[in-house]
Structure 1
Amino acid sequence: MIEFKNLSHNYKQGNELIQVLKDVNLKINFNQTVGLIGPSGSGKSTLLNILGLIQKPEKGEFKIHETSTNVLNEIQITKLRREKIGYIFQNSQLLEDFNCLENVAMPLLLNGLSKDESYSRAKKMMEEFGLKNKLYFKPSLLSGGESQRVSVLRALIKKPLILLADEPTGSLDQKNGKLVMKYIFELAQQFKTLCVVATHNLSFVSNFNICYKISNSKLYKL
């Protein structure tokens, strides 16, 4: 389970202090798909950054498995982030100097798995999800939809506790957007991963187990 307790966060815009999150309280079990709805600037990305241990909340507490992340040092946070959290961004952010197989295998290599085992798992995953013919392509040769599908596999190959997706279909057409979300839902369910997706696309709302809206710095369950 993850838990937010009285979580608040601000950021500066020039000389003005903007409150993006105020007194957020939330408990979510793993093996769920969670939608996070709200317009640009509403605080969706900030909430994902706190969930992903990229930012610390200014006030309040964030717990993973009853452990407060507030008390973890940078080494512990980095280890937790590397081993237990996966990320998908609006733009795939694949490493251009590496082919698709190498990109998908990268998280396993960084976590100490052998090169042979990492590549074997990555190859199997890509074949299962219809990317067998793209194994040795560089990212620059992929379409937008293919590139984002590769980034989904890269994020989930280490079977993370938490998957965070920030507008993962924002740069895709409707067909490719649906396919990418299908990948995310199927793999999150397979690996029993808590999947949190920030999106402004309301057509996906019915696919989530739970959906929240951020409005006026508050979190509301839909």
Structure 2
Amino acid sequence: MPLIELKNICRRYKNGQVFINALEDINLSIEEGEFVSIMGPSGSGKSTLLNILGCLDRPTSGTYEIAGRHVEKMSDNMLADIRNQLLGFVFQSFHLLPDLNSIENVELPLIYRGLSGSARRKRATAALEAVGLKERIYHRPSQLSGGEQQRVAIARAIAGDPKLLLADEPTGALDSKNSESIMAIFQDLNTKRGITVIQVTHEKSVAEYGHTIFHLKDGKIEHIENVANVTI
């Protein structure tokens, strides 16, 4: 059974008296353990698709199944549970709280799981060590480089042991050296931990770290590209 299965997904917005089809008839299936990239020009629907995959938005029509559960008609509370139990998110802008240090930022979403303080600290420490920040756990965001801040964000995303990691332009604010470092971490999480990764990117070199690239145009999947030589 696929981890992710979308059938005939459409997302329509109303802008004044005009309806805009952000996504139209999207069908895709992603197996557990895959590394998938989504590419497309501005306005192609890739961020809308990622928001639906992340249970942050609902499709106008169609069905979405994740880990055997249909989510398109779930209540807001049920969707929040799915996000908390199964998903990890990494964004271009890091979204770290400036008054908290690295380990406190990583611990924050674990509070909503009801974990004890010691359990949160243990998981957060392990996650920061996994992204190479063992020596920076008590530094605040202002004391970290952009690449280090993104690694804290990744640690926060994986501390809850998600099945699926969703990344929206994860290297968009980074230079090429830090971009390569972040993508190496994603590959390690995918190959060694078995975490399924879905990323949105406009950079072909970044997209090619994935096994498969979904190319979107005008809200539709234009074509699917299999990456022959996965970067290691």
Q: TM-score higher than 0.5 here? A: yes
Q: Does 1:116 align with 2:118?
A: yes
> How do 1:55-134 and structure 2 match up within 5 A?
55-134=57-136
Query: Over residues 18-57 of structure 1, what are the superposed CA-to-partner deviations in whole Å (9 max), with x where a residue is unaligned?
Result: 2121101111111111000112221111001001111000
Partner of 1:209: 211
Q: Does 1:22 align with 2:4?
A: no
1:216 deviation in Å?
Answer: 2.3
What stretches of structure 1 move > 4 A for 4+ residues in a row?
Answer: none
Mapped partners of 1:132, 1:67: distance in 2: 37
Mapped partners of 1:128, 1:64: distance in 2: 26
1:143 deviation in Å?
Answer: 1.2
1:204 deviation in Å?
Answer: 2.3
Mapped partners of 1:96, 1:57: distance in 2: 34
SS at match of 1:117: helix
Mapped partners of 2:59, 2:209: distance in 1: 29
Q: Does 1:221 align with 2:224?
A: yes
- Answer with 80-89 or 200-209: which moved more: 200-209
Partner of 1:159: 161
SS at match of 1:179: helix
| CA 1:117–1:38: 2 relative to 1, 3 Å | same
SS at match of 1:150: helix
SS at match of 2:149: helix
Partner of 1:135: 137
- Answer with 10-19 or 107-116: which moved more: 10-19
If each structure's helix is expressed as a fraction of its own residues, which one has the higher value? 1
Mapped partners of 1:193, 1:107: distance in 2: 18
Query: Over residues 38-97 of structure 1, what are the superposed CA-to-partner deviations in whole Å (9 max), with x where a residue is unaligned?
Result: 122211110010011110001111111232112322221111111211111111001122
Aligned length: 222
Partner of 1:4: 6
Of all paired residues, the percent bearing the same amino acid is: 39
- Answer with 152-161 or 48-57: which moved more: 152-161
Mapped partners of 1:148, 1:23: distance in 2: 33
Alignment gaps of 5+ in structure 1: none
Mapped partners of 1:110, 1:93: distance in 2: 17
Alignment gaps of 5+ in structure 2: 226-232
| CA 1:157–1:45: 2 relative to 1, 3 Å | same
Query: Over residues 130-150 of structure 1, what are the superposed CA-to-partner deviations in whole Å (9 max), with x where a residue is unaligned?
Result: 212211111122111110111
User: Contact 2:64–2:72 at 8 Å: present in 1 too?
Assistant: yes
Q: Which amino acid aligns with 1:68?
A: H
SS at match of 1:207: coil
1:108 deviation in Å?
Answer: 2.4
User: Contact 2:127–2:156 at 8 Å: present in 1 too?
Assistant: no
User: Contact 1:35–1:199 at 8 Å: present in 2 too?
Assistant: yes
Query: Over residues 1-29 of structure 1, what are the superposed CA-to-partner deviations in whole Å (9 max), with x where a residue is unaligned?
Result: 21111001122445433212110111111
User: Contact 2:183–2:209 at 8 Å: present in 1 too?
Assistant: no
SS at match of 1:106: helix
User: Contact 2:201–2:207 at 8 Å: present in 1 too?
Assistant: no
Mapped partners of 2:130, 2:218: distance in 1: 42
Query: Over residues 155-192 of structure 1, what are the superposed CA-to-partner deviations in whole Å (9 max), with x where a residue is unaligned?
Result: 11111121110000001000001111111221233332
State the Cα RMSD in Å: 1.5
SS at match of 1:30: coil
